[in-house]
């Protein structure tokens, strides 16, 4: 049978007495906690304002805000694009109308010019009138 499993004998009792736990130095816990505090301070983020996003509610609010802004921006951009296309079309129509009106005016002007143009004078009748006799 394994002597370790037997009832404790004097040598084992003496070993238990010799190897019993000792109190740790008073300073041990304080030193450990100080090191931990130092490490925690060093690992703090430089930009503390980012810490607000550590809260889930604020993170979701920020996400919702950004999403809304992007959606509204997209809609506004599409609206501007549509207005610009419509403006271009209106401009083209106006230019066409102006060209037509211009050509009509030109034609009217030519007509007026034709009307007002001096007629060529009738040729003097150089023929000798015939005698009636």
Partner 1 sequence: MAMAALPAADHAPAIAGTDFADIVRRYQSMVFSIARHFLGDPSSAEELAQDVFLQLHSVLDDLESEEHIKFWLRKVTAHRCIDHRRRRRPPQISLEDAPEPSTRGNSGDPLLARRLRQYVTSLPEKPRLEMILRYQEDMLPEDIADVLSMPVATVKSHLQRSLAMLRVKVTRTIGEVTR
- Using CB under 8 A, list all residues that contact partner 1: 2-4, 10-25, 27-29, 31-33, 35-36, 39
Integer Cα distance of 73 and 64 in angstroms:
14
Would you say 58 and 52 are in contact if contact means Cβ atoms under 8 Å apart? yes
Distance, in Å, from the CA atom of 117 to the CA atom of 113, rounded to the nearest integer, reads 6
CB of 1 to partner 1, least distance (A): 11
Q: Are 53 and 59 in contact (CB under 8 A)?
A: yes
In the complex, least distance from residue 29 CB atom to partner 1, rounded to whole angstroms: 5
Nearer to partner 1, 23 or 125 (CB): 23
Which CB, 18 or 50, lies closer to partner 1? 18
């Amino acid at each position: 049978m394994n002597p370790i499993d037997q009832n404790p004998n004097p040598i084992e009792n003496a070993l238990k007495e010799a190897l019993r736990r000792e109190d740790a130095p008073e300073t041990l816990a304080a030193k450990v906690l100080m090191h931990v505090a130092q490490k925690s301070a060093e690992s703090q983020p430089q930009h503390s304002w980012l810490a607000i996003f550590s809260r889930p509610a604020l993170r979701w609010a920020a996400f919702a805000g950004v999403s809304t802004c992007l959606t509204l921006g997209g809609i506004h951009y599409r609206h501007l694009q549509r207005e610009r296309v419509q403006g271009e079309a209106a401009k083209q129509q106006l230019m066409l109308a102006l060209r037509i009106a211009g050509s009509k005016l030109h034609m009217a002007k030519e007509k007026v010019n034709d009307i007002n143009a001096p007629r060529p004078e009738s040729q003097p009748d150089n023929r000798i009138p015939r005698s009636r006799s």
